[in-house]
Structure 1
Amino acid sequence: MPQLLNNVLVNPDCRHFRGDLPCRPNKEHGYVCEGCPVYSPVTSRILLIKLGAIGDVIRTTPLLRRLRQEYPGCAITWLTLTPAILPQGEIEEVLKFDFAAALQLQAREFEVVINLDKEKEACALLNTINARQKFGYALRPHDGVAWPQNELANHKFLTGVFDQVSLANTKPYVQEIFELCGFDFRGEEYVFDTHADKGYDWSLLPAATGPRIGLNTGCGDRWTTRLWSDEKWITLIQGLQAAGYVPVLLGGEAEDARNRVLNAATGATYLGTFPLPQFINLMHQMDGIVTQVTMGMHISIALRKPTILMNNIFNPHEFDLYDRGQLVQPNKQCECFYRGSCRYGTSCMEDLPAEKVLQAVRESVPMAMRNEQ
């Protein structure tokens, strides 16, 4: 509420108020608190702790939409290891997790604090934050293990500690985190920045004679059981080209060597590697994305692209494609649930035919679909 300091009116409850620096309305328009035409009082403050990885941070953003509905006038603070991936204009305060951020958060008060990470440092922070309501995971003081803060967190907690429970789960991740917070999931979309305002030049992309299909060829180095061979990718690319699609190879530095090989073998477009915002905008130029369970998958879903998701080692129910695209799996049942290496030596991904992926592209991205970005 407004306060007087040396007979000067100050609105510390305004979402624009900084305290350490002049607010933006003061800098840009010379407004002061008394009579300010853009005064916007905050009704409640919410802290969301989701540190990483990047893909998990992206797929947590649907919560923002629901929090705005349930707490009108709220100000949201998000604590993360990767601030750059979050839509800055959609969140009042984005903090990078470090000692300074943790120290100041411990001195503040919130209406709601949600911690979706089981890392000990995230759980310990939930223990020490002043809040009327807490959701998610805390740290048990006597043994230092992550533990559900309340019963709503039990389901998501158990799917992470027992493979049997995880295998039996039929709820997508987004639904699980909504229920953890006491909400029913209503299909809320991701909140994401396409970086279209950056004006990136994509003139080197081939003319879209057919729908552009982005091929995200990597899968990271942790779960190598997801890898698809170069031969499979080549067969898929050639099938896409024959069907009139325009395949575009996507990836980061880890995929650069592979993408150059695929480019040389098929002539599929490959523009190289880019900083993350530019990579996101490149994906935004696609009409559909073929990917494995990677950061690229989360970006594709966030961009609302038809996503053809190749999966073998994860529970297929975990992924919500929002009725855009298809999930395709090997013809052979995977026996290596959440394993980083195949117990049989040859990954079952080799039992996923390129023709099966091509058919999913045909059904999800009709030839009439063209990117109009």
Structure 2
Amino acid sequence: MCGDCPVYEPVTKRILLIKLGAIGDVIRTTPLLRRLRQEYPGCYITWLTLTPAILPQGQIEEILKFDYASALQLQARQFDIAINLDKEKEACALLLNVQAPSKFGYTLRPYDGVPWPINELADHKYLTGVFDQLSLGNTKPYVQEIFELCGFDFRGEEYVFDTHDDKGYNWAPLPPASAGPRIGLNTGCGDRWTTRLWSTEKWIALIQQLQAAGYAPVLLGGEAEHPRNLELQAATGAAYLGTFPLPHFINLMNQMQGIVTQVTMGMHISIALRKPTILMNNIFNPHEFDLYGRGQLVQPNRQCVCFYRGTCRLGTSCMEDLPAEKVFEAVVASVPQ
């Protein structure tokens, strides 16, 4: 009807990106969007995930929730490029069956159903996920690894993320700017690797040091952290606004001038929001995390011997050897008054 339409922009490449979960891993895959747009101007990106709400709406042409209907129709379509970054069998099977001349990541070996690198670009990331000794020796951040898996060099591309500032949330209960820089304290770490947990006593000590130095601590967390945050609020008077749906929580974090967090979803959100991130780490390879030059990674004074373990071999987690003073000094260095 409009053969001479002046705003028509034909699609140059159709790209399928499969990254199902978890939420944090989905967030830290978004830098790929920037490079794909640069390498393939006019491309049409389809992203398949278990958590579509976390992806930036308006920045991706098609966001699909992983279910039977989505998998069925994707296998009937043609793409120029298909990328699968998950080793789950269902994701690998989809890359195997989808129609695309260029494929990257992990596929499924048809004869035995084993997830497998589709080409040598995926070997490094595959092997570090299988063998602890290789994972311990790895010096590449996760984002660099997935860029190389796709045949790109990593140039410091930032996350693509929605701050939800347009929602008009009321943050009047937060400490005012006159109270000092707001430091969000993300006090939980999920229930899979509880060796990462920091004790209530350590959190109280950190809060008191921050308050004495003129910072305004704000407790952050979900339902699992709610009882602990109420306890910390009662003991220190630190601000705590409760729990919120994910977009609301993301925007709350965006009101902070710095974030103290474990390796958890809050860490990925903080990095995506470009906040100075003070990352407490013990059981993971510290090279895995790229803070983009904002913030610091702090670790216990005792060497951790529980790489990727949910229970401590020594009975007492080395996180008890991470003093509050060490975290406090990282905050001061990262978020000056």
TM-score for the superposition, normalised by structure 2: 0.99
Counterpart in 2 of 1:273?
Answer: 243
Counterpart in 2 of 1:128?
Answer: 97
Which residue type is aligned with residue 359 of structure 1? E
Counterpart in 2 of 1:153?
Answer: 122
Which residue type is aligned with residue 62 of structure 1? P
1:147 alignment partner, SS class: strand
Counterpart in 2 of 1:248?
Answer: 218
d(CA) in 2 for partners of 1:58, 1:210: 29
Q: Are 2:169 and 1:200 aligned?
A: yes
Counterpart in 1 of 2:158?
Answer: 189
**Which one of 285, 297, 311 corresponds to residue 281 of structure 2?**
311
**Which one of 287, 290, 294 corresponds to residue 320 of structure 1?**
290
d(CA) in 1 for partners of 2:114, 2:335: 46
Which one has the largest radius of gyration? 1
Deviant stretches of 4+, over 6 Å? none
Which residue type is aligned with residue 279 of structure 1? F
- CA drift at 1:345: 1.2
**Which one of 352, 360, 364 corresponds to residue 334 of structure 2?**
364
Q: Are 2:58 and 1:58 aligned?
A: no
d(CA) in 2 for partners of 1:71, 1:131: 16
**Which one of 270, 285, 290 corresponds to residue 300 of structure 1?**
270
**Which one of 58, 73, 82 corresponds to residue 42 of structure 2?**
73
Cα deviation code 1:35-66 (max 9, x no counterpart): 43421110110000000000000000000000
Q: Are 2:310 and 1:344 aligned?
A: no
d(CA) in 1 for partners of 2:175, 2:43: 45
- CA drift at 1:342: 0.7
- CA drift at 1:162: 0.1
- CA drift at 1:354: 0.3
Counterpart in 2 of 1:12?
Answer: none
- CA drift at 1:88: 1.1
d(CA) in 2 for partners of 1:98, 1:327: 37
Structure 1, gaps ≥5 residues long: 1-8, 10-32, 368-373
- CA drift at 1:73: 0.6
Which residue type is aligned with residue 328 of structure 2? L
Which residue type is aligned with residue 66 of structure 1? R
Aligned residue-pair number: 336
Counterpart in 2 of 1:43?
Answer: 12
**Backbone CA RMSD of aligned residues:** 0.6
Q: Are 2:188 and 1:218 aligned?
A: yes
- CA drift at 1:142: 1.0
- CA drift at 1:121: 0.1
Counterpart in 1 of 2:253?
Answer: 283
**Which one of 87, 90, 106 corresponds to residue 59 of structure 2?**
90
d(CA) in 1 for partners of 2:175, 2:158: 30
Counterpart in 2 of 1:17?
Answer: none
Cα deviation code 1:220-244 (max 9, x no counterpart): 0000000000000000000000000
d(CA) in 2 for partners of 1:180, 1:145: 19
Q: Are 2:109 and 1:140 aligned?
A: yes
**Which one of 199, 202, 227 corresponds to residue 197 of structure 2?**
227
Cα deviation code 1:185-209 (max 9, x no counterpart): 0000000000000000000101122
**Which one of 142, 148, 162 corresponds to residue 131 of structure 2?**
162
2:45 alignment partner, SS class: strand
Which residue type is aligned with residue 215 of structure 1? L
Cα deviation code 1:110-133 (max 9, x no counterpart): 010000000000000000000010
Which residue type is aligned with residue 246 of structure 1? A
TM-score for the superposition, normalised by structure 1: 0.89
Which residue type is aligned with residue 129 of structure 1? V
d(CA) in 2 for partners of 1:88, 1:273: 23
Which residue type is aligned with residue 313 of structure 2? R
- CA drift at 1:344: 1.3
1:110 alignment partner, SS class: coil
d(CA) in 1 for partners of 2:311, 2:6: 60
